[in-house]
């Protein structure tokens, strides 16, 4: 498989990105990001770069602030300090929809599908742009509406097929096995054609063989679409197997950044998170 575990190179003294991305600006440039909830600083001075086609990992104990970072990246929360450049553009003040149009899409730690809708319709919900059609043409079912419908249908099936879900297109999402629901959420996020895909604990609740399959899916996505993927995950076989750069968060602060090899042998990370057992 191409592009896997490229050499990482330093960029502007701020972090490391894959060597193959070094000629282009990072997809994500996060500087000194902080957020306070009441008296709690949930994310503290978070600075990170992610390369254009990097698979990046964000790990750390429960409550460390990982999901909060995703919520800051998608403007669910407003940073108390710091800023975020997504593909060179400041994300401040943008709506979630605008950010999606700028190229960021995510999945959630707790699955958020429309369980009463079919698998295919869940994917179509993700196609919020690129298929614009007027309300009038939709109401009147004009030919342009049918063409859009047709294109969306074909695209949804293509995307589902990447995850071997195409034959379940007409199943209600709520009736899918759990692992398939998690994968469908990724397909839905992909439907918006993101440049950066954020996955919050994609392997949570999966068995080892499902996790292995997911790992191959994630790699395939990056290779197929040439996008960046940032994932939060506790399954170290997945994180260490596919991430190129990893940041470790503890009590809202980054305590280490580096390659999987560096992270696994970092005594501070072992002490705070991995434990002695995990690295054997």
Ligand X SMILES: Nc1ncnc2c1ncn2[C@@H]1O[C@H](COP(=O)(O)OP(=O)(O)O)[C@@H](O)[C@H]1O
Residue ranges binding Mg ion (CB under 5 A):
66-67, 109
Closest of 1, 19, 21 to residue 9, by C-alpha = 19
CB under 5 to 8 A by kind: which of ligand X, Mg ion, none does 146 bind? none
CB of 50 to ligand X, least distance (A): 18
66 vs 195 by CB, closer to Mg ion: 66
What residues have CB less than 8 Å from 271, skipping those under 6 apart?
Answer: none
42 binds, among Mg ion, ligand X, none (CB under 5 to 8 A by kind): ligand X
CB of 279 vs ligand X, minimal distance in Å: 20
Closest-by-Cβ residue to Mg ion is: 67
- The contact set with ligand X (CB under 6 A) reads 37, 42, 60, 62-68
Nearer to ligand X, 72 or 191 (CB): 72
CB nearer Mg ion, residue 16 or residue 69? 69
**Shorter beta-carbon distance to ligand X: residue 84 or 160:** 84
Tell me how far apart the alpha carbons of residues 198 and 30 are, in angstroms, rounded to a whole number: 14
- Entry field: residues in the chain: 280
Give 181's Cβ-side CA count (13 Å radius). 20
Based on CB atoms, which residue is closest to ligand X, 66 or 124?
66
Residue 200 has a CB neighbour count (10 Å cut-off) of 21
**Residue 97 and residue 75 in contact, taking contact as beta carbons nearer than 8 Å:** no
Rounded to a whole number of angstroms, the minimum distance from the CB of residue 76 to Mg ion is 13
Minimum distance of ligand X from residue 5's CB (angstroms): 25
Q: To the nearest whole angstrom, how small is the minimum distance from the Cβ of residue 202 to ligand X?
A: 13
* Structure token digits, residue 79: 């940073």
CA distance 23 to 169: 40
Distance CA 26, CA 54 (A): 9
From the CB of 105, what's the least distance to ligand X, in Å? 18
Based on CB atoms, which residue is closest to ligand X, 66 or 257?
66
How many CB atoms sit inside 10 A of residue 197's CB?
Answer: 25
């Amino acid at each position: 498989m191409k592009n896997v575990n490229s050499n990482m190179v330093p960029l502007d003294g701020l972090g490391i990105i894959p060597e193959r991305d070094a000629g282009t600006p990072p997809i994500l440039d996060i500087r000194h990001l902080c957020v306070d909830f009441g008296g709690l600083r949930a994310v503290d001075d978070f600075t990170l770069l992610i390369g254009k086609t990097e698979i990046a990992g964000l790990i750390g104990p429960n409550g460390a602030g990982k999901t909060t970072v995703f919520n800051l990246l998608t403007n669910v929360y407003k940073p108390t300090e710091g800023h975020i450049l997504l593909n060179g553009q400041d994300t401040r003040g943008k709506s979630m929809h605008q950010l999606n149009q700028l190229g960021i899409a995510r999945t959630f730690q707790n699955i958020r599908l429309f369980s009463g809708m079919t698998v295919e319709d869940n994917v179509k919900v993700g196609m919020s742009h690129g298929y614009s059609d007027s309300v009038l043409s939709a109401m009147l079912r004009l030919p342009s509406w049918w063409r859009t419908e047709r294109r969306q249908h074909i695209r949804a099936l293509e995307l589902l097929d990447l995850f071997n879900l195409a034959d379940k297109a007409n199943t209600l999402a709520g009736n899918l096995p759990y692992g398939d629901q998690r994968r469908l959420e990724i397909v839905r996020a992909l439907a918006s054609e993101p440049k950066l895909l954020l996955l919050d604990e994609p392997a949570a609740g999966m068995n080892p063989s499902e996790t292995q399959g997911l790992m191959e899916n994630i790699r395939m996505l990056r290779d197929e679409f040439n996008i960046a993927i940032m994932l939060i995950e506790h399954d170290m076989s997945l994180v260490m197997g596919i991430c190129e750069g990893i940041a470790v968060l503890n009590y809202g602060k980054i305590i280490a950044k580096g390659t999987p090899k560096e992270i696994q042998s970092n005594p501070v990370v072992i002490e705070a998170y991995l434990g002695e057992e995990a690295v054997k």
